[in-house]
Amino acid sequence: MPKIIKPDAKLERINVLLVNGSTHASKLLEDVLSGLGFSNVQVVNDSSDVIKTLKRRVIHLIVTDGELLVRKKRVPGMEGADTPRPEDLLPISGIEFVKRLRQSPHSPSPFVPVMMVIGKEDEALLRRARDAGVNEIIVKPLAADDICERISGIIDDKRFFITAESYKGPCRRRERKPLPAGIEDRRKTDVRLVRRRELHDNLRGS
Amino acid sequence: MADKPSQTHTGPIAYEPDQTLREIIGKDTKLSEIFTPERIQACQKTIADARDSFFTVAEGDIVKLEKLASDHVMAPDISDDIFEDVSMLAGNIKGHADLFGFTLVSAIGKHIISFCELKVRSPSTRFRVIADLIKMQRVAFNHKVMDERGALAKELATSLQKFLA
């Protein structure tokens, strides 16, 4: 008889949103996350449900698929329009979904950590995921220890969240290496640092 | 957790790292106390069991694909709804196969989706190719081809590229 692993009390208050167009894949990922101790895992297979969910409740972590089609139709919320535009009727990839989540002015949760599951060690795909604003990437085939490592990486992520014209997401530099000689460090001059208290004050005021 | 970035500064903004998840689980909690070897082992077993039952669980999707193929392969025109149904089922199989590294099944699923979206050939021509790919998927299922190194998937991609050239 299989041994039943109970949810972890410390993970009970973490709301996880699992976005995957494949129902079988969603079920397995849900089982794995539950097995790791997460008890609040909500599964959605359509991006319209993602937006509705993000508007209704606080989500602490999104787990999504990079390549798999996430249906875009009937998703006016992200564009701020009342009716979907013709191009909204096409399917979108998980990478495009994250880009919109981070960059759309109508996004309900641009800062939420995102963990993306991608099909294989494809450098171009990895780069696209990173540039979309993904926090951590799991490369298939699935391995439980890898999933744990990535979740741990998100929990203790020490990277700043950057919003710039061309990018919104966690800082893409994982290591703080010195810049090459002759290159000016824009971070010291152009970048405005927002402390957490200031951010929360701004949010309360807006 | 923050919900909206500040709108007042036009240049790049660096927000301090968000510690919400760490605060929820407790600042002093060691992650190794949560993700114990016992939990990780149990999860790995869940993955292994799902991998072993992949071809049985995904059988329903391929049966539906075969039905769509046989119903429409001789039709003079194919509607976008049919292509969408095929794409959804193929995507379901692909996403599932990807999780376990079943490269050939995943690649066939990917090519079916591509042909559903490709607009360079007539719908009936595209659908005939899709029907052949579904037959190929059936063979992969019957023989439980895992193709974990991806050699067969590469061969298939090369053949399809030649067809499209």
- pLDDT per position as a tens digit, A128-177: 999 999 999 998 889 999 999 999 999 998 888 988 888 999 988 776 66
Query: What pLDDT was estimated at residue A90?
Result: 52
- What value does the mean pLDDT take over residues B73-94? 88
| Percent residues over pLDDT 70 in chain A | 69
Q: Rounded to two decimals, what is the model's pTM? A: 0.80
Q: Is residue B30 predicted with pLDDT exceeding 80?
A: yes
- What value does the mean pLDDT take over residues A27-39? 92
Query: What pLDDT was estimated at residue A195?
Result: 73
Two tokens, residue B48 = 């292994």
State whether the Cα torsion B70-B75-B80-B81 is positive or negative. negative
Q: Which of A111, A151, A168 sits opposite B18 (nearest CB)?
A: A111
* Contact criterion met (CB < 8 Å) for B99 and A109: no
Q: Is residue B16 predicted with pLDDT exceeding 90?
A: no
Instruction: Give A65's contacts in chain B (Cβ within 8 Å).
Output: 95
Instruction: List Cα–Cα distances, B123 to A102, A117, A152, B3, B62, in angstroms.
Output: 36, 32, 47, 44, 21
Query: What pLDDT was estimated at residue A145?
Result: 94
Q: Is residue A75 predicted with pLDDT exceeding 50?
A: no
Confidence of residue B7 (pLDDT cuts 50, 70, 90): low
Query: What pLDDT was estimated at residue B26?
Result: 92
Dist CA A188 CA A181 (whole Å): 16
Instruction: List Cα–Cα distances, B26 to A5, A13, A34, A159, B23, in angstroms.
Output: 21, 11, 20, 19, 5
Query: What pLDDT was estimated at residue B110?
Result: 87
Are A96 and A134 in contact by the 8 Å Cβ rule? The answer is no
Nearest CA among A31, A22, A30 for reference residue A2: A31
> Is B21 near chain A, with CB under 8 Å?
yes
Q: CB-based contacts of B155: which residues, under 8 Å, 6+ apart?
A: none
Q: Is residue A8 predicted with pLDDT exceeding 80?
A: no
Instruction: Give A161's contacts in chain B (Cβ within 8 Å).
Output: 14-15, 17-18
Domain B58-164 CATH assignment equals 1.20.120: yes
Query: What pLDDT was estimated at residue A121?
Result: 62
Q: Is residue A187 predicted with pLDDT exceeding 70?
A: no
Which chain A residue shows the shortest CA-CA distance from B36?
A36
Q: CB-based contacts of A194: which residues, under 8 Å, 6+ apart?
A: A202, B6, B13, B14, B15, B16
Are B14 and A161 in contact by the 8 Å Cβ rule? The answer is yes
- What value does the mean pLDDT take over residues B79-98? 88
Residues in B 55-84 with any Cβ partner in A closer than 8 A: 57-58
> Is B20 near chain A, with CB under 8 Å?
yes
Confidence of residue A16 (pLDDT cuts 50, 70, 90): very high
Instruction: Give A111's contacts in chain B (Cβ within 8 Å).
Output: 1-3, 5, 15, 18
* Contact criterion met (CB < 8 Å) for B5 and A163: yes
What is the least distance, in Å, from the CA of A181 to any CA of chain B? 23
- What value does the mean pLDDT take over residues B57-67? 94
Q: Which of B9, B22, B35, B86 to mutate to test the interface with A (most CBs of A within 10 A)?
A: B35
Dist CA B38 CA A172 (whole Å): 33
Two tokens, residue A103 = 């960059």
- What value does the mean pLDDT take over residues B125-154? 85
Q: Which of B1, B35, B46 sits opposite A111 (nearest CB)?
A: B1
Confidence of residue B146 (pLDDT cuts 50, 70, 90): confident
* Contact criterion met (CB < 8 Å) for A140 and B31: no
Instruction: Give A44's contacts in chain B (Cβ within 8 Å).
Output: none
